[in-house]
Structure 1
Amino acid sequence: MKELHNEHFTGERALFQCNELRISGSVFDDGESPLKHSRFIDLSDCTFGWKYPIWYSENIRMKNCRIGEHGRAGIWYVTDVKVEDTVIEAPKCFRHSNGISMNNVSFPGGQETLWKCANIRLNNVTAEGDYFAMDCDGMEVNSLKLTGGYSFDGVRNVTVKNSVITGRDAFWNSENVIIYDSVITGKYFCWNSRNITLVNCTVESLQGMCYTENLILRNCKLPNTTLAFEYSTVNADIKGGIDSIMNPYGGVIKADSIGETIMDEKQVDVSRTKIIVGAQ
């Protein structure tokens, strides 16, 4: 690999179509698309200050780098990218990409980030901003700290562990999702989804988990959760109480206490749902 150290790149497409480069301690300044159509690029201790830094590229490695607030739409149409110990301040990073691995990465301006991507591994990632991870397929997420609404809309085949997700309307229109040992807080969690499983989780949600097919909760807590499970098929084992449930479509709901149960025979077949309160 050719090595470039402590360089200062300016102008549009500064390293266009470059292959097999190891770049360290360098600044990509004013100028769009500096690494467009690049392959086998190893970046360390580099800063990107302008738009579209890495597009249509393959085999990218980034470590101890920073994409500044003006580096919008930073990594699109990329295959096989690994990012470590990096700060991405700009919005709309990662779209239409396949084979993404991130470890110790932060997105302080992470709105509309990680859209329509596949085969993603996230570990120890923090993000702030709405519409994180939309329409992604195949995700393994561990130790994510996310603040922002409308996250994980339309995702498929996702496993989440040891994470904290705060913001309304998370995991809408999603399919085949398993969440372990996590805390989720926000209104209208998990609507219009199917095959959703939560294990050892805590969920706080107004009117959460509605219009969901095959919803499973194992050893979960639902503090400050009201009007849950409307038109959902659910198998729930809840530790502690639920403030209220409303018109589940069917299944079994077991909890230590339920503040209010709303079952409207005009809306649902109440015989399809079994509700167990306390140690029955």
Structure 2
Amino acid sequence: MKTISNKEYSGERPLFGKSNIKLSNIRIIDGESALKEGHEISAEKSYFNGKYPFWHIQDLSIDTCAFDTMARAAIWYSQKINMSNCDVVAPKMFRKCSDISVYQTIFSDAKETFWDCKGIKIDNCSMNNADYLFLNSSNIEINKLKLNGNYAFQNASGIKIVDSIINSKDAFWEAQDVTVINSIINSEYLAWHSKNVTLINCTITGKQPMCYAENLRLVDCILADSTEFAFEYSSVFATIKSHIESVRNPLSGHIRATSIGKIIIDEHKKAPATCVIEENYFG
């Protein structure tokens, strides 16, 4: 593997088509498509501030690098990507990529990141300003993520999240096959129109959560006092280790909670309307 070190590049396509190279302490200061159409590329301790630096790349390793504001849409249409210890300011970081691992990386502006991607592993990362994160993506494994941004995981599928903090309006909208464990979720209109969502030992806040959901499961979760009109038109099996402000017209299943402020079963209920609701479940 050829090593390129201590160089500065600008303009369009300065390293186009390069393969089997290691970049060390290089700077891409402007321009676009610096390393397009390459394979087996490693970058370390480098700085990127030109648009679209890594498009159509096979086998990409990035460690201890910085992606500044103008390095937007940095990694698209690429496969087998490993990123670690990076500082990412640029938005729209990944699009239509597969087999991605990201470790101990800070995304300061993660909006429209991880769109239409497959096979994502995230460990010990933070993602801020992360609107529409993981849109339409699948097969996602997440550990210790701090997420701040709205509409995360919309229409995503095959998701497992552990030990994370998710601050995201309308998270998991139309998501499928989701498991979240030991996490905090702050989200208005959480998991509406979702399918096969399971939340285990999670703390949840937000208005009107988990409505129109199919096969929704909550295991020993806590719902904050602000959480009201929950489970409307959802099929749900839930054990809630807290008070619920209100439950409205669930379709079916079984809800057990410490207490419930108001149970609303009214003329707007829908068949089968067979959900069993119990209070004082945890004594």
Shorter-normalised TM-score: what interval? over 0.9
The answer on whether the counterparts of 2:10 and 2:50 sit within 8 Å (CA) in structure 1 is no
Distance 1:166 1:206 in 2: 13
1:70 partner SS: coil
Deviations 1:248-267 (A, max 9, x none): 11110000000111111442
Judge which range, 213-222 or 5-14, deviates more.
5-14
Aligned to 2:113: 113
State the TM-score, normalized to the length of structure 1: 0.98
Deviations 1:186-235 (A, max 9, x none): 21010111000000001101001000000000010011211100100000
Aligned to 1:100: 100
The answer on whether the counterparts of 2:249 and 2:268 sit within 8 Å (CA) in structure 1 is no
Aligned to 1:145: 146
Shift in Å at residue 11 of structure 1? 1.5
Aligned residue type for 1:155: A
In the TM superposition, what are the counterparts of 1:41-60 in structure 2 within 5 Å? Answer: 41-60=41-60
2:104 partner SS: strand
The answer on whether the counterparts of 1:162 and 1:181 sit within 8 Å (CA) in structure 2 is yes
Distance 2:12 2:189 in 1: 44
Indicate yes or no: 2:277 matched with 1:275. yes
Distance 1:182 1:265 in 2: 36
Aligned to 1:263: 265
Aligned to 2:157: 156
Say what the alpha-carbon RMSD is for the aligned residues. 1.1
Aligned residue type for 2:145: L
Shift in Å at residue 146 of structure 1? 0.4
Indicate yes or no: 2:168 matched with 1:176. no
2:92 partner SS: coil
Aligned residue type for 2:124: N
State the TM-score, normalized to the length of structure 2: 0.97
The answer on whether the counterparts of 1:54 and 1:74 sit within 8 Å (CA) in structure 2 is yes
The answer on whether the counterparts of 2:30 and 2:70 sit within 8 Å (CA) in structure 1 is no
The answer on whether the counterparts of 2:114 and 2:134 sit within 8 Å (CA) in structure 1 is yes
Aligned residue type for 2:203: T
Distance 2:32 2:238 in 1: 51
Count residues in correspondence.
280
Shift in Å at residue 269 of structure 1? 4.0
Identity, % of aligned positions? 37
Aligned to 1:68: 68
Distance 1:134 1:106 in 2: 19
The answer on whether the counterparts of 1:263 and 1:270 sit within 8 Å (CA) in structure 2 is no
Aligned to 1:26: 26
Indicate yes or no: 2:256 matched with 1:254. yes
Indicate yes or no: 2:241 matched with 1:239. yes
Distance 2:158 2:183 in 1: 17
Aligned residue type for 2:253: G
Deviations 1:117-153 (A, max 9, x none): 0000000111112111111110000011000110000
1:213 partner SS: coil
1:19 partner SS: coil
Distance 1:148 1:262 in 2: 32
Indicate yes or no: 2:175 matched with 1:207. no
The answer on whether the counterparts of 1:264 and 1:270 sit within 8 Å (CA) in structure 2 is no
Aligned residue type for 2:207: L
Distance 1:203 1:270 in 2: 27
The answer on whether the counterparts of 2:251 and 2:273 sit within 8 Å (CA) in structure 1 is no
Aligned to 1:39: 39
Distance 2:41 2:25 in 1: 14
Aligned residue type for 2:258: D
